[in-house]
Structure 1
Amino acid sequence: MTATVSTIDTQLHGQIRWDYREEKTRVYSLYELAKSKVWKTSEAPWEALVDHSLPPSRHQFEPLAGFAPFDALPSSRRIDCSWYRHGLEISDILHGEQGALLVSSQLVSCMPDIEAKLFASSQVSDEARHVEFFSRYLLEVVGDVHPPSDAVAALIKAMVNDPRWDYKFIACQILIESLALARLQDIRRATLVPVLAHAIDFISADEARHVKFGTEILRRHLASLNASELQTRSDFVVDHLLGLADAMNIYTRIANEFDWDVRALRFHLRQNRIRQPQPRHDLFRQLMLNMNSVGLLTPQTERRLSGLA
């Protein structure tokens, strides 16, 4: 049986600021924007009926289409498989959102000035809303929440347990938020579920605001580091990205569930990526843009990422 609880043990090195007379910067503007953009999950169109006799995504976005064992399934079983794939995908997004919730709550203490603490507190509220939405969506619409893949669980534990605020910040604001932005837009284009489409529009706006906050804070901090320190942090991002490769490719779990040959399915998916390279390109492009904006895209790292894309 999969464990439903994991323990964390971390030591935070934060700051308490007693001087509130600070010059207002772009970070404060982002905080003001965050306050004006609060939305409620309860106002999403939950009443819109979801027909489970139809797949959750448009057929042209189904990556399993063209794989002989999938195509050979009866129509109802193919739809079940699509919903199972969708549930795995959204479950990992949910777990990532909880990781961002935990880390952003820690960052309130770690941030160097008051306005950064204020924005970090608004991000805690945003991430809580995302966890609320995706957990309700999985339980009420999809039917179940799946455990996190090993790589997703490992990244979340590493973020939460790391005592270094900038590593937490890089993992949360650059790695997870960048991947989430790209993946959510991919799902938004494909989904046939009204409540999911509605929420993704709001969640994506929240995530974009978090990335802008991360860019503002990290650009100043990383500029103070030497080349070796910068490369270490850059490698941290890419190493975890490589670890997430299996998590982003949830199809091994699908193959095991449907008793398919894993190697044959992986070959099909590689061919599918060759035929439709845009989603993967968008994923890495978003990450590379955000890494470049804060100074983490070193020549060495750019070569590593270009090989992956």
Structure 2
Amino acid sequence: MLESVPAGVADQPAAEVTGRDKRALVSAVECTFDSLFVLSYDQGERSQLDALYRKAKTKQWDVDLDIDWSIGGQIDRARDPNNALNRLHIPAGGVFSRLSDEQLAELGHASAAWTINQFLHTEQGALTCAAKLVQSAPWVDAKFYASTQVMDEARHMEAYARYVKEKMEWEFPISTHLSGLLDDVVRDSRWDFTYLGMQVVIEGLALAAFGLQYKLSPDPLLKQITRYVIADEARHVAFGVLSLREAYADLTAAELRERQEFCFEAVLRMRNRYLAEEVWEQLDLPVDECTALVNAGPVQKEYRRALFSAVVPNLKKLGLLDFGDGWLRTKFGELGVLGFEDGDDTSAEYPRMDLDHAPWDVVRYQHY
């Protein structure tokens, strides 16, 4: 855990990229945890979790039936210099100002493909964590809900894998920063760390990223997939917040401090996955210069800051933001993200993200 982080940490990478073989197709993570058999089957004892489970049962969309895969033009849109998503991920100046129009178009394609590939890898991490929660959660209502999340995450993997292969035609390995965090979350034997790392931090940051992608993407197909995913992910984050509120009421001061430090380390690593070293390497661009430009670019810095819009209010709801001497509040202040603390936490906000509120062009093929 991080005991102290120097001032200015918001502008610095949290860790160096290792020499790990990024091309490996199978990665093993050794983990040991208790599988809990809960022999009290009184469903509904935790009414908010039960409500999530009942909603999830009725919202099982189908990648084949509900998504309009006939929509084309994804690569052309990604290569378009006017694509707003390119401005989020590709800074101005330096090496980027010396690229030709064709090189910039290729960079747009690579950046778009890389982004969706990282969402795909994250969804597999979420699938693994949800399956772990089915086994390790100590309440039957939590096990019921986690079982629906397993199906949700498999569906998200299916959708993004198909989009990457059929529409973007460019596959990227998992970001080293993301891989390291997923390994730690899966490896930890404590069930609440799985909740905290995946449900609250990783999925919370992803929920904000999905929201920006939905607003800015010029691709009708990606907007449709993203809106369906948002509805599911909002339930997943709410599941984490509602479960951990009860669990953290009984922890000691030392245990809560450990979870504060874990959260801060996790958000730094998730933030750094957007440095996109894999893109610069793939295109033979100078990785150190590109990373420095992404770190310093005002648009890119604001984008990374905006990703905290769901995480900060959720951690405040859990009491972790201000617990003890306010250590986590101080660290988030260094990141410049405390402006989000008074936003709605996802346990209150998720109903507004449901597909019942989605526009007709998203749900017109809805089969259920």
- TM-score (normalizing by structure 1): 0.91
* Cα contact 1:45–1:195 (8 A) shared by 2: yes
| Cross-structure match for 2:329 | 302
Amino acid at match of 2:73: V
Given the alignment, which residue of 120, 126, 139 partners 1:100?
126
Q: Which SS does the other structure have where 1:306 is aligned?
A: helix
* Residues 261 and 20 of structure 1: CA distance in aligned 2, closer, same or farther (over 3 Å): closer
- Please give the secondary structure, in 1, of the residue aligned with 2:192: helix
1:280: which partner in 2? 304
Encode CA deviations 1:78-133: one digit per residue, 9 max, x unaligned.
Answer: 22111101111211111111001001001011112211110010111111111111
C-alpha distance after superposition, 1:166-195 (max 9, x if no partner)? 111111111111111011112222212221
Give the match's secondary structure for 2:183: helix
Question: Of the candidates 253, 257, 263, which is equivalent to residue 282 of structure 2?
Answer: 257
What displacement does 1:71 show? 4.4
Report Cα offsets for 1:129-163 as digits up to 9, x if no partner.
11111111111111132111112111112122221
Matched residue, 2:59 = 37
Q: Which residue in 1 is equivalent to 2:75?
A: 52
Picking from 224, 238, 244, the partner of 1:212 is 238
Sequence identity, in percent? 28
Deviation at 1:32, TM superposition (A): 0.7
Contact 2:294–2:300 (CA under 8 A) maintained in structure 1: no
CA distance 1:60–1:71, change in 2 (3 Å): farther
SS in 1 for 2:268: helix
What's the counterpart of residue 348 of structure 2?
none
Map 1:221-236 to 2 at 5 A.
Answer: 221-236=247-262
CA drift at 1:16: 1.3
Q: How does 1:74-93 map to 2 (within 5 A)?
A: 74-93=100-119
What pairs with 1:1-309 in structure 2 (closer than 5 Å)? 2-24=23-45, 25-42=47-64, 43-50=66-73, 52-55=75-78, 58-63=82-87, 64=90, 66-67=92-93, 69-250=95-276, 252-273=277-298, 278-298=302-322, 299-309=326-336
Displacement, 1:270? Answer: 4.3
TM-score by length of 2: 0.77
Q: Which moved more, 1:187-196 or 1:94-103?
A: 187-196
Q: Does the C-alpha gap of structure 1 residues 86 and 60 become closer, same or farther in structure 2, counting only changes over 3 Å?
A: closer
After superposing the two structures, state which structure 1 stretch, 215-224 or 7-16, moved more. Answer: 7-16
8 Å Cα contact 1:188/1:200 also seen in 2: yes
Is residue 74–residue 168 contact of structure 2 (8 Å, CA) maintained in 1?
no
Change (3 A) 1:102 1:56: farther
Instruction: Tell me, in whole angstroms, the C-alpha distance in 2 between the residues paired with 1:270 and 1:151.
Output: 15
Maintained 8 Å contact 1:56/1:82:
yes
Distance (whole Å) between structure 2 residues aligned to residue 261 and residue 22 of structure 1: 56
Moved more, 43-52 or 72-81: 72-81
CA contact (8 A) 1:56 1:192 kept: no
User: Contact 1:17–1:114 (CA<8 Å) still a contact in 2?
Assistant: yes
Q: What is the CA distance between 1:264 and its match in structure 2? A: 4.0
* Structure 2 residues not aligned, in runs of 5+: 1-20, 337-368
In structure 2, give the amino acid aligned to 1:237.
Answer: C
Is this contact kept in 1: 2:197–2:263, CA < 8 A? yes
Distance 2:86 2:213 in 1: 11
Letter paired with 2:281 = N
* CA-CA distance at 1:238 after TM superposition: 1.0
- Look up the equivalent residue of 1:292 and give its one-letter code: K
Q: 1:96 to 1:36 in 2, by over 3 A?
A: same
Relative to 1, partners in 2 of residues 1:270 and 1:11: Cα closer, same or farther, differing over 3 Å? closer
CA apart distance, 1:257: 3.5
Distance 2:227 2:49 in 1: 22
Give the partner amino acid of 1:308: L
- Measured in 1, the distance between the counterparts of 2:302 and 2:71 equals 31
Q: What amino acid sits opposite 1:98 in the alignment?
A: Q
Q: Output the CA distance in 1 between the equivalents of 2:208 and 2:91.
A: 22
Matched residue of 1:53: which SS? helix
Q: Which deviates more from structure 2 when the two are superposed, residues 238-247 or residues 170-179?
A: 238-247
Q: Which amino acid aligns with 1:27?
A: L
1:258 to partner: Cα distance: 3.5
In 2: Cα distance, 1:34 partner to 1:56 partner: 37
